[in-house]
A and B are shown apart, each in its own frame.
Chain A
Amino acid sequence: MTDLPALDLSEPFSGGRESREPRLLAGLHALTQWHHGHCEDYRHMLDAIWPDAVHQTPASLAEVPFLPVRMFKQLELASVADSAIVKRLTSSGTTGQQVSRIALDAETAALQVKALAAITQDVVGRQRLPMLVLDQQEIMRGKGALSARAAGILGFANFGRYHTYALDEHMQPRWDAIDAFIEAHAQGPVLLFGFTWVVWQHVLQQAAQAGRRLDFGEKSILIHGGGWKKLAELQIDNATFKQRLADQLGIRRVSNYYGMVEQVGSIFMECEAGHLHTPAFADVLMRDLHTLKPAQSGAIEVFSLLPRSYPGHAILTEDMGTILGCDDCPCGRKGRYFHVHGRIPQAELRGCSDVRAAS
């Protein structure tokens, strides 16, 4: 256990900026000090690059020292003893790519569960709903570190009951199981969950090819995340995606979220107005793509009060976004809301002379 104070995760969207910012800054500073004291690698980086940060409470988010997201690929950073680590998460990098490795202790893992619950219940309500997972059950059976996809399914499974997996081990739709799920539950509220690309490729496209039109009912809601990279290549935007889901699968409400394995739990959920929202225990800042100074649009920096077992409370991602507003979204939620544009083009330039795949 860390000796950091308890964290109040309730009512993540009720307090406005004046009430949340001081608490957020104080909490982030406490985490900076904690990690500086307990993670040697983090200390070396901070002492070289942010020499004053550990002594001074930040006056703004921009003054909170961050790590570039790729540091979690290059190093396994932990601020707790090895024996305290209960779970290791990895990002879902494709073959050959380096993956992030995130060390969780019981305390941080528990905070992630609670935070995700607070955010998700704001969308789906407190009741556990019949849940269709748009993925294969086999992905949960991997050994060792938990992949981001498996961790995501595991996290959201807490909000459902009567879990049904929509895909078989070959990523083909199990139409019988899907039909049975609709038959049994679609007259009431149902929750669907999946990764954006999997939903598109293995559910929507397959349904279209098989000429199947489904109807998950008036109270159906799909939560999906994992990034738009592949859909962006196909020039499929959020509106098109939603329309196709409504037409082909009869899913009434669709909520995308922006999140990453480096900050599991504090995700940014899309509201009815189509905006991504920051909960009270997290925030975002855009940094100009050339100067890295705070800006309206730029590289997305994400903040979260959850990471205690690893120094991931302020991370500069390689995604681009724009701040849309604060406290005044038409959906009524307080806090900052924003839009994600996608990846910085070719952010991972490869090494020196070996730029070309050889032979």
Chain B
Amino acid sequence: MIESLLSPAGAPVSSAAGVPAMLARLSAAQGLAPFAPLLKSFVADLSRSVLTDRAFREHPELMAMAHWFRAANLPALQARLLGAESDAGDLFQVRRGVVFHIAPSNVDSVFIYSWLLSLLCGNANIARVSRRRTAQMQTFFAQVHRLLQREEYAPLAESNWVLSYDHDAELTAQLSAACHLRVIWGGDATIEQIRRAPLPALAGELAFANRFSMAVLKAEAVLGLDSAQLERLAQGFYNDTFWFNQRACSSPRAVWWVGDAASCEAARAKFWPALQTEIERHQPENTPAQVMNRATMLYALAQAHPGAKACTPIGALPTRIEVASFSDLDRRLHDGQGLFIELLRPDLLSVMSSLSTRDQTLAQFGFARSEWVSALSLLPPHAADRIVPVGEALAFSSVWDGVDLLRAFTRVVQIGGR
């Protein structure tokens, strides 16, 4: 069964029979130039309506998304893509055509970034979203739907199809065959599944695999914080880790403490109670199933690390375990939900050498920018795409996992001769 959340007027597709006509309609939809005024005004309107709707107040991740797409930020995005373009040059960015987005179910707002950036680039979009989407996503789509009813946005209503369906390889193949770019936000297993559906020879693909993220905290710097600063650090850390139940790929799951043994010990004793205060203040969801998962994960990590030390009671939120070394097994075993693997290191260099291909975001505190720049050459291949201050781990950027999305959502046409 197909459930259409957004579709061109008068054409809600509910079964496979309607799919070819819908795809034909999307392919025929009139395209627009990247950052055409209509596109910008739609995104700005949508941003405003989310920011002013009380229904989203409880959902900071959607507020952050709307803030990111606010009218004032759009010129900077536009400049990022089109800044170097001029009539005198010979290279021009144009839309790709039809972009097929496959959204993850755990971090649904990531998909909105992907979809809106593609829309801003002038593309027609097919977006598959999870059946198990959250209530706030439902509200969000209702909001988008209302906006698309407006006469002026008819061209956009005509070129965007957001749908939901259960496992259906045939439908995935049909949608894939109609796109010029496929974007998979689902993780390794989803990528493997989706890739069984072939793409047209000229279509491209962006695949965002499972990634792992960590925090790197300088012990001395934490020790130097006064209580207000400590609270800010704990707040930032809380947002990074608990907004998506620690299941966003950029949420830190391991924490590296950098410093001598005594300061690491003291910094931990100072930091974790401050985080506990944040947890008590915000009361994040903590179901019995999550308690069980944390308990099981703790044992699995203890089994994998002879000499490990549990630092909290079984099932506690957060659960912490101190280990001596870090491996890909840890990256696989860790399933979010409020568990931190702690490691102690004397310096930044020994952290860098423990990173791997899977690692995406380093949320750091206390280090100077120059310390990171000078350590870059020590990074293993593809390790660490982002090094950001604690509190900004989930902040979206149009460059994601090392991919410049605005460029990926467009193509370059060369005009020669003059």
- Residue positions of A touching B, CB distance < 8 A: 41, 44-45, 47-49, 51, 67-68, 70-71, 74-75, 289-292, 299, 316, 318, 320, 344-349, 351-359
Contact A359 B172 (CB under 8 A): yes
Known: A291-B315, A347-B293, A355-B130. 19 other contacts (CB 8 A): A44-B302, A48-B308, A68-B295, A289-B291, A290-B288, A292-B291, A292-B315, A299-B288, A320-B288, A347-B292, A352-B335, A353-B107, A353-B186, A353-B210, A354-B190, A355-B104, A356-B190, A359-B172, A359-B194
Nearest CB to that of A316 among chain B residues?
Answer: B295
Partner of B299, one of A51, A67, A292: A67
Evaluate contact between A352 and B299: CB separation under 8 angstroms: no
B306 to chain A: which residues have CB within 8 Å? 44, 47
Docked CA distance A263–B104 (Å): 38
24 contacts between A and B (CB under 8 A): A44-B305, A45-B299, A47-B307, A49-B302, A68-B292, A68-B295, A68-B299, A292-B291, A292-B315, A299-B288, A299-B292, A320-B288, A345-B288, A349-B289, A349-B290, A349-B293, A349-B335, A352-B249, A352-B335, A354-B210, A357-B166, A358-B194, A359-B167, A359-B197
- Identify which of B186, B286, B290 contacts A358 (C-beta below 8 A): B186
Are A352 and B190 within 8 A (Cβ)? no
Which residues of the other chain, B, contact A357 by a CB distance below 8 angstroms?
166-167
In angstroms, how far is the closest chain B Cβ from the Cβ of A44? 5
> Smallest Cβ distance from B104 to chain A, in angstroms?
5
Q: Are A318 and B303 in contact (CB under 8 A)?
A: no
CA of A352 to CA of B106 in the docked complex: distance in angstroms?
8
| Cα A143 to Cα B293 with chains together (Å) | 32
Given contacts A290-B286, A292-B295, A359-B169, whether A48 and B190 have CB atoms under 8 Å apart is no
What is the CA–CA distance of A74 and B299 in the complex, to the nearest angstrom? 10
Q: A4 CA to B312 CA in the complex, in Å?
A: 33
Report the interface size for chain B: residues with CB under 8 A from the other chain.
56
Closest to A292 in B: B315
Shortest 5 CB-CB contacts between residues of A and residues of B:
A353-B187, A358-B193, A48-B302, A289-B288, A354-B189
Asked whether, in the complex, the Cβ of B313 is within 8 Å of the Cβ of A292, the reply is yes
Which residues of B lie under 8 Å from residue A354 when comparing CB positions?
A: 186-190, 210
Residues of B within 8 A of A (CB): 102, 104-107, 130-132, 166-169, 172, 185-190, 192-194, 196-197, 210, 247, 249, 286-293, 295-296, 298-300, 302-310, 313-315, 321, 335-337
- Closest chain-B Cβ to A49's Cβ sits at a distance in Å of 4
- Hey, which chain A residues are within 8 Å of B287, CB to CB? 345
B110 (CB) vs chain A CBs: closest residue: A353
Nearest residue, chain A, Cβ from B331: A352
Please indicate the chain A residues that have their CB under 8 angstroms from the CB of B314 in the complex.
49, 292
Is there an interface contact between A356 and B288, defined as CB atoms closer than 8 Å? no
Q: How far apart are A302's CB and chain B's nearest CB, in angstroms?
A: 15
Collect the chain B residues with CB atoms within 8 Å of residue A48's CB: 302, 305, 307-310, 321
Contacts of B293 in A (CB 8 A): 347, 349
Q: How far is the CA of A68 from the CA of B295 in the complex (A)?
A: 7
Shortest CB distance A101–B (Å) = 15
Residues of A within 8 A of B299 (CB): 45, 49, 67-68, 71
How far does the alpha carbon of A345 sit from the alpha carbon of B299 in the complex, in Å? 21
Chain B nearest Cβ from A225, distance in angstroms: 22
For residue B7, give the distance in angstroms from its CB to the closest CB of chain A.
Answer: 21
Q: Which residues of B contact A70 (CB under 8 A)?
A: 292, 296
